[in-house]
Amino acid sequence: MSTSNGGEGFLADFERVSPLICEEWPGVDSAALTATAGDYEGVVSLIAGTTEHTRARVRQQLTELAALARAANHGEVKVRVLVNSDVKVDVDVKLQEIARKLEQRFDGITRALRSRLADAEKRVVERPYTTLIAALGLGMIVGLLFGGRRR
State which residues of the chain have pLDDT below 70.
Answer: 1-9, 71-95, 148-151
* Cβ–Cβ under 8 Å, residues 35 and 14: no
Number of domains the chain is built from: 1
15: in domain: yes
CB burial of 25-44 (b: ≥16 within 10 Å; e: otherwise) equals: beebeeeebeebebebeebb
The per-residue pLDDT for 33 is: 83
The per-residue pLDDT for 2 is: 42
50: in domain: yes
* Cβ–Cβ under 8 Å, residues 65 and 20: yes
The range of the structural domain enclosing residue 55 comes to 8-74
48: in domain: yes
DSSP annotation of 94 reads E
pTM value? 0.43
The per-residue pLDDT for 82 is: 54
The per-residue pLDDT for 116 is: 93
Which segments of the chain are extended strands (E)? 76-82, 88-94
58: in domain: yes
22: in domain: yes
